[in-house]
Amino acid sequence: MLIRLGYEIAIECAAATPIISLLDIHPDRHADIKRQTRVLTSPSVPTRTYHDRHGNICRRFTAPAGSFRILYDAVIEDSGETDEVNTLARETPVAELPDDVLTYLLGSRYCETDHLGSIAWQLFGQLPPGWARVQAIVDYVNSRLSFGYGYARATRTAAQAHEERVGVCRDFAHLAITLCRCMNIPARYVNGYLGDIGVPADPA
């Protein structure tokens, strides 16, 4: 199937503001791009890219004071198939984890494993390790939180989302990541395009 993707993001800056955007298509999918525009800015400013340690393309530029827009439009080919489900996926004991994933067990500013550790073990400690445990965590987060754009708050942490029972997409992700890390399951935040295929247009 062919999927059109893109964005037009408008911001207001009180002063010239250096920005790093992670909005470029991952190099793994470049062969699937059927057409695309350049990344455009208005007003036009120079941009440059670099790759982070996960292979993401990061775009650096400085937005001038005042109104600023960044635009992109593309069509990409995709199978349209859902993600693979492997209910037999096993949980790797911490002692056997590769060195480069150990950092994804640690607490952080948004993922306070120290606050949610006992709750996680009470909820999920008796479940069989592996796919079933992670699925239970995701299901719990989806039933625990209510989604709403009006709930957005840039400072909300996983523990606050758990207590307040509301949030936006990042709050769902932070809470799931934190609960996984509490259970010694490495997890990290990954963002992507939110598809609207089959979703009625929002008149707003």
Q: Burial-class residue 24 by CB neighbours within 10 Å (0-12, 13-18, 19+).
A: middle
- Cβ atoms 167, 161 nearer than 8 A: yes
pLDDT exceeds 80 at position 141: yes
pLDDT at 50: 98
Pick the more confident residue, 46 or 201: 46
Predicted TM-score (pTM) of this structure: 0.81
Q: Which percentage of the chain shows pLDDT scores above 70?
A: 99
Q: Burial-class residue 98 by CB neighbours within 10 Å (0-12, 13-18, 19+).
A: exposed
Q: Please give the Cα distance from 83 to 96 (Å, whole number).
A: 26
Mean pLDDT of 96-116: 96
pLDDT at 97: 96
pLDDT at 192: 75
Query: Band of the pLDDT at 8, cuts 50, 70, 90?
Result: very high
pLDDT at 119: 97
- What secondary structure letter does DSSP report for 130? T
* Second CATH level (architecture) for the domain 94-182: Roll (3.10)
Domain boundaries, the chain: 2-77, 94-182
Element (H, E) at 71: strand 66-77
pLDDT exceeds 80 at position 139: yes
Query: Band of the pLDDT at 116, cuts 50, 70, 90?
Result: very high
Give the CA diameter of the chain.
56
